[in-house]
Amino acid sequence: MMGFEVIKSGIFTLLQDRGRFGLTHLGVSNSGVMDEYASLMAHKMLSNSLEDNLLVVVFGNIELKAHGNTVMCVTGAKCELFLNDIPLSTWKNFKVNSGDSIKIGKILEGQRVYLAVKNGFDIKKEFLSNSTTVKEELGGINGKQLKKGEFLPYKSTRSFVNNRLKQEFIPSYIEEVLTLRVVLGYQEENFSQDEKNKFFSSTYEVTADFNRMACRLKGEAIHSNLEGIISEGICFGAIQIPKNGQPIVLLKERQTIGGYPKIGSVLSIDCFKLAQRKVGSKIRFENIDIEIAQNKVRDFYNVFNNE
């Protein structure tokens, strides 16, 4: 069988795709890649289907041995990438021959490295998706993170297109303050104008409480006139404001319903940028009108959909 043998798995490497949809009414999380820009770009470079799966490496230190020829593209966080111990740049396709070793060492800038192969890995989907949700034991290989000794099968290929993404399209993950655009919604009417002004004029910081489920921020406390709310559905990017007033941005592996007041939601395409920020990064929020926001999101996906 052709595929990668996992020599070193890294601490928390996950198989992901765009997510598991249509089961939230049963409490099953959407899951899926946290940074769709980097992951979809990897697939586009390889002319893959956007629904294909790939590996997400969060803490670096992974080594794979190829059994069979393929083509790869590594995107996302800036990292040490080696093919047979020779350094390679990311955001660029490269040929892999049978017997080759692919290593990712340290992650230098950003949080998540996406490692894609031509046509994705041949792994059986669970409820229409390969996305790994560890707490639900769904997707991936046995619902868990990658382990040493496991095998990731792919179909061998020799067809190689030497794509390299232009520098101007490669995101920087270290700008001083990241602006997240917010569509007001949910319980926004229960936040006074003063509280909203505070929210949109303050600078927040990413705390260590940041995982696939949510990102907790710290900074100026915001308050609504609500104690709590009747539990309701939570969408991607929703900004919960718990009693302590510190915003929580809900991400891909969020629980499906919850009872904290929400001021609105961060644009999906800005959540992808947030996904690459490290603890201590500075964040500010900017209000955006729904019509403009929808156009921004449509433009984002048109880059990947229009071939």
Partner 1 sequence: MQISIASVDSVIIYFSQEISQEISLIVKRAYSILKDLDNENFIEIIPSYTSILLTYDINKYDFKTLKKDLEDLLFGIKVDVNEEKSIITVDVYYGTDVGLDLQHMSDKTQLNIEQIIELHTSKLYDIYAIGFMPGFAYMASVDDKIAMPRLENPRKKIPKGSVAIADNQTAIYPKDSPGGWNIIGKTAFELFDKNLESLSPLSIKNQIQFNSISKEEFLSQGGVL
Nearer to partner 1, 184 or 217 (CB): 184
Nearer to partner 1, 71 or 184 (CB): 184
Nearer to partner 1, 221 or 229 (CB): 229
Q: Which stretch binds partner 1 (CB under 8 A): 77-85, 152-160, 204-212, 234-242?
A: 234-242
Q: Report in angstroms how near the CB of residue 300 gets to partner 1 at its nearest.
A: 10
232 belongs to the binding site for partner 1 (CB under 8 A): yes
Cβ proximity to partner 1: between 31 and 246 the closer is 31
DSSP string, the chain: --EEEEEEE-SS-EEE-S---S-GGGT------S-HHHHHHHHHHTT--TT--EEEESS--EEEEEES-EEEEEEEEEEEEEETTEEE-SSBEEEE-TT-EEEEEEEEEEEEEEEEETT------BTTB---BGGGTBSTBTTB---TT-EEE----------B--GGGSPPS--SEEEEEEEE-TTGGGS-HHHHHHHHH-EEEEEEEE-SSEEEEESS----S-S----EE--TTEEE--TT---EEE-TT--SEE-S-EEEEE-HHHHHHHTTPPTT-EEEEEE--HHHHHHHHHHHHHHHH--
Residues 247-266 within binding reach of partner 1 (CB under 8 A): 255-258, 264-265
Regarding 45 and contact with partner 1 (CB under 8 A), the answer is: no
Residue 230 binds partner 1, judged by CB under 8 A: yes
Which CB atom, from 151 or from 236, has the smaller least distance to partner 1?
A: 236
Task: Report the C-alpha gap between 60 and 142 in whole angstroms.
Answer: 22
Check binding of 135 to partner 1 (CB under 8 A): yes
Nearer to partner 1, 153 or 233 (CB): 233
234 touches partner 1 (CB under 8 A):
yes
Q: Going residue by residue from 259 to 298, which x/- string records binding to partner 1, judged by CB under 8 A? A: -----xx-xx---------------------xx-xx--xx
Q: Which of 60, 171, 237, 247 binds partner 1 (CB under 8 A)?
A: 237
Residues of this chain that bind partner 1 (CB under 8 A): 21-28, 30, 126-127, 135-136, 138, 183-186, 230-238, 255-258, 264-265, 267-268, 290-291, 293-294, 297-298, 301
